[in-house]
Structure 1
Amino acid sequence: MSARIYQRSKNAMQSGKARIDEWVLEYTPAEQRKADPLMGWAGSGDTQSQVQLNFPSLETARAYAAKKGINATLIPSPTKTLKIQAYADNFR
């Protein structure tokens, strides 16, 4: 079994920073999604893809993966860049 560990990013539609310090362990899909012949919805028989575990720190997420024998891949969070500008720059 393999999984990926990543840190949540801030939602683009919100200005708050709630839950961005949490780390998420998410299993990688074991089988490809396919269209249902009756309804046409995409789905698969892989129930592990529905599991998403939240951890307060990276160390606890790695410890859980090591304890359960999960091959976890760390996806680093992108660096935050701020574009500092004055309000007057909007009118130039």
Structure 2
Amino acid sequence: TTTGQLSTSAQLFRLQLFRLQQGTASVNDYTLHFRTLAAASGWNETALLGAYRQGLNPDIRAAIALYDDSIGLESFLQRTTRVSQRLAACQPS
């Protein structure tokens, strides 16, 4: 049924989102992939923010650890991008 297909599709997006890791990708690429999956997941903002934070690589995750989730998902995504840009600017060439 169509309803069953939508449910299966949503479950697939949720599973992909749950397993999504930044790895060696840039924060921008990770965030874009995350946004794509998040839009179809049906998860609430708190769950999305937790999944996003968990999927970040450890260096970025540590750098943004001081930021509270209460700033909201969109602000958190933007702040993570800015922090990653600052960290990259500090790296020796």
Which is higher, the Rg of structure 1 or of structure 2?
1
For CA contacts below 8 A with separation 6 or more, give which structure has more relative contact order. Answer: 1
Give the TM bin, normalised by the shorter chain: under 0.3
| TM-score normalised per structure 1 | 0.25
Q: Structure 2 length as normaliser, TM-score?
A: 0.25
